């Protein structure tokens, strides 16, 4: 029994060692594949967002936030590619002909020499834009003796090295982060007043022969930012609305109609609908009796009035059945709309950064009086003296949209708490941020409020 356990244990150890040895033999191929995959992702970003150029602020009209987003991905991919190339070099240092023969016996097939050279050439061509000269030389050393090839493979197939392209030296780029980093108050303090220094700077810009190109480039960047922002805002509005209508007409609508026709469901979803229908029917009855009294024709009999009331009751039942079905459809269609809206936010991170920069330029580019006017307008609408009536109408419309009864206690509690919370947030924002960014706007706001 113990001998059987020992044999099973030895088989497990042997299988584990064999799997580890296979993993070791596949290390060069695995490292090359991961480095190649990282280079492909970098190339995809360049082709999709930078017109095939280098990922840099000078290659496309993006804001600093968008460039930061792309550069964070670039750093991760470059780190992966460099680590895998280092791993590739280290693994090939210990990989000899005996290991390669063992790999062939184990059934591990290595890629062809031409494919290996092609992948290394592609990796070197992509990451050479972002690496220094020593890194490029070390990666080219791999192309001279590619991974997973026997030592004599290069000497037997010299044609693979004849047309190996040489890459041009990397042109050093400017550090745009230093140019875009905002200066503090200590950095801007000088011997001369700032107005004189700004005047001298303006004259230098006007006399600079390249100032026109800089102005054009800045205008194109602002134009591109505006187009992207407006397009994204329209998408945030149109896509949820279209999703709501399509889901309501083709997905949710047929299911609700079929279920309400097959099962004899109640006409009214809540008591408010029933009271509204009874009031409408009572108003119609009074109207029929009034017309019956003032006209010259023979008066209607009670049976005829009852027939007219029955017709009107059937019409009202159909109307409120349709309204109840429509409210149920709105609930599920709104779920689809919210899902579409969240999906847009998830897949459009770069557009969100652009639109944030767009609103920053708009808001902080306004004059102090305009900022104060907008703040007073929004505060009076949402937290002012007349705002409770607006919140009441809004909450009643939402409850009717979803077929819910308008709970007066909940509405009054909401009006008593939520505007107060909004007012506190407004005051905190003014005290914490606006007072630091634009103190003159805060002073104008206080004067206008008084």
DSSP secondary structure letters along 22-49: HHHHTHHHHHHHHHHHHHHHHHHHHHHH
Is the pLDDT score of 5 beyond 60?
Answer: no
Closest among 371, 348, 58 to 217, alpha carbons compared: 58
Last residue of a domain, one of 286, 321, 348: 348
Domain end position, chosen among 293, 315, 348: 348
Is residue 131 scored above 50 in pLDDT?
Answer: yes
Q: Range with the lowest mean pLDDT among 90-104, 133-147, 241-255, 372-386? A: 133-147
Do 109 and 166 lie in one domain? The reply is: yes
| Joined tokens for residue 184 | 């503090």
242 has pLDDT over 80: yes
- Domain endpoint, select from 299, 319, 348: 348
Domain check: are 247 and 382 in the same one?
no
Q: In terms of domains, do 323 and 379 share one?
A: no
Is residue 433 pLDDT above 60, yes or no? yes
Q: What is the Cβ-side half-sphere exposure of residue 199, based on CA atoms within 13 angstroms?
A: 5
The residue that leads in pLDDT, 74 or 296, is 74
Residue 239 neighbours by CB under 8 Å, 6+ apart: 340, 341, 344
State whether 172 and 91 are in the same domain: yes
In a domain, 221, yes or no: no
Lowest mean pLDDT among 160-169, 186-195, 336-345: 160-169
Instruction: Give the per-residue pLDDT at 230.
Output: 93
Q: 433 and 329 in one domain? A: no
pLDDT confidence of 147, banded at 50, 70, 90?
Answer: very low
> Do 22 and 147 belong to one domain?
yes
Residue 197 lies in a domain: no
* Alpha carbon distance 38, 29 (integer Å): 14
Spacing of C-alpha 337 from chain mean position = 16
- Asked whether residue 114 falls in the same domain as residue 165, the answer is yes
Whether residue 355 is contained in a domain is answered as no
Query: In this structure, are 262 and 331 located in the same domain?
Result: yes
Band (197; pLDDT cuts 50, 70, 90): low
The answer to whether the beta carbons of residues 148 and 127 sit under 8 Å apart is no
Q: Which residues touch 169 (CB under 8 Å, ≥6 apart)? A: 133
Output the CA torsion sign for 301, 306, 309, 314. Answer: negative
pLDDT of residue 289: 85
Helices 133-144 and 113-127, packing angle to 10 deg:
170
Residue 6 in domain: no
Which residue, 81, 37, 78, 80, is CA-closest to 54? Answer: 78
Structurally, how many domains does the chain consist of?
A: 3
Better-scored residue on pLDDT, 100 or 439: 439
Give residue 31's pLDDT: 82
Answer yes or no: is 413 within a domain.
Answer: yes
| Domain assignment of residue 399, yes or no | yes
Tokens of 87: 């791993």
Q: Is 216 within the bounds of a domain?
A: no
Q: What is the overall mean pLDDT for the chain? A: 76
Q: How many residues does the chain have?
A: 450
CA distances (Å), origin 273, targets 223, 312, 323: 51, 16, 9
Residue 181 lies in a domain: no
Q: Are residues 242 and 310 in the same domain?
A: yes
Residues 371 and 341 in one domain: no
Residue 399 belongs to domain spanning: 366-449
- Considering the domain architecture, whether residues 255 and 321 belong to the same structural domain is answered as yes
Give the contacts of 57 (CB within 8 A, at least 6 positions apart). Answer: 64, 67, 176, 180
Task: Please tell me whether residues 163 and 308 are part of one structural domain.
Answer: no
Q: Give the model's confidence band at 202: pLDDT under 50 very low, under 70 low, under 90 confident, else very high.
A: confident
């Amino acid at each position: 029994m113990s001998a059987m356990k020992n044999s099973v244990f030895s088989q497990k150890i042997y299988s584990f060692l064999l799997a580890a040895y296979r993993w070791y033999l596949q290390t060069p191929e695995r490292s090359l594949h991961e480095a190649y995959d990282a280079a492909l992702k970098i190339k995809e970003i360049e082709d999709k967002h930078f017109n095939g150029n280098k990922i840099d602020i000078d290659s496309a009209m993006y804001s600093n936030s968008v460039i930061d987003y792309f550069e964070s991905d670039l750093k991760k991919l470059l780190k992966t590619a460099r680590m895998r190339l280092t791993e590739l070099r280290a693994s090939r240092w210990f990989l000899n002909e005996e290991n390669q023969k063992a790999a062939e016996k184990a059934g591990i097939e290595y890629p062809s020499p031409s494919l290996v050279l092609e992948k290394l050439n592609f990796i070197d061509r992509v990451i050479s834009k972002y690496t220094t000269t020593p890194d490029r030389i070390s990666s080219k050393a791999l192309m001279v003796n590619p991974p997973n090839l026997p030592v004599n493979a290069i000497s037997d197939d010299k044609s693979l090295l004849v047309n190996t392209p040489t890459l041009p030296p990397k042109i050093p780029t400017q550090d745009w982060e230093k140019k875009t980093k905002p200066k503090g108050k200590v950095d801007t303090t000088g011997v001369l007043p700032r107005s004189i220094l700004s005047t001298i700077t303006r004259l230098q810009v006007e006399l600079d022969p390249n100032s026109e190109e800089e102005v054009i480039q800045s205008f194109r960047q602002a134009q591109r930012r505006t187009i992207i922002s407006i397009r994204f805002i329209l998408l945030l509005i149109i896509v949820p609305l279209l999703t709501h209508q399509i889901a309501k007409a083709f997905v949710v609508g047929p299911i609700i109609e079929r279920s309400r026709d097959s099962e004899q469901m109640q006409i009214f979803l809540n008591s408010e609908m029933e009271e509204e229908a009874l009031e409408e029917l009572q108003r119609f009855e009074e109207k029929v009796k009034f017309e019956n009294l003032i006209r010259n024709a023979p008066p209607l009999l009670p049976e005829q009035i009852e027939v007219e009331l029955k017709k009107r009751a059937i019409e009202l039942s159909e109307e409120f059945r349709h309204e109840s079905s429509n409210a149920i459809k709105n609930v599920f269609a709104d779920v689809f709309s919210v899902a579409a809206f969240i999906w847009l936010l998830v897949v459009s991170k770069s557009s969100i950064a652009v639109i944030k920069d767009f609103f920053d330029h708009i808001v902080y580019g306004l004059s102090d009086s305009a900022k104060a006017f907008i703040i007073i307008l929004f505060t009076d609408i949402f937290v002012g003296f007349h705002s409770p009536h607006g919140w009441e109408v809004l909450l009643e419309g939402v409850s009717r949209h979803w077929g819910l009864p308008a709970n007066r206690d909940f509405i009054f509690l909401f009006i008593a708490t939520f505007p107060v919370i909004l007012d506190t947030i407004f005051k905190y924002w003014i005290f914490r941020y606006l007072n630091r960014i634009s103190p003159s706007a805060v002073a104008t706001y206080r004067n206008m409020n008084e």
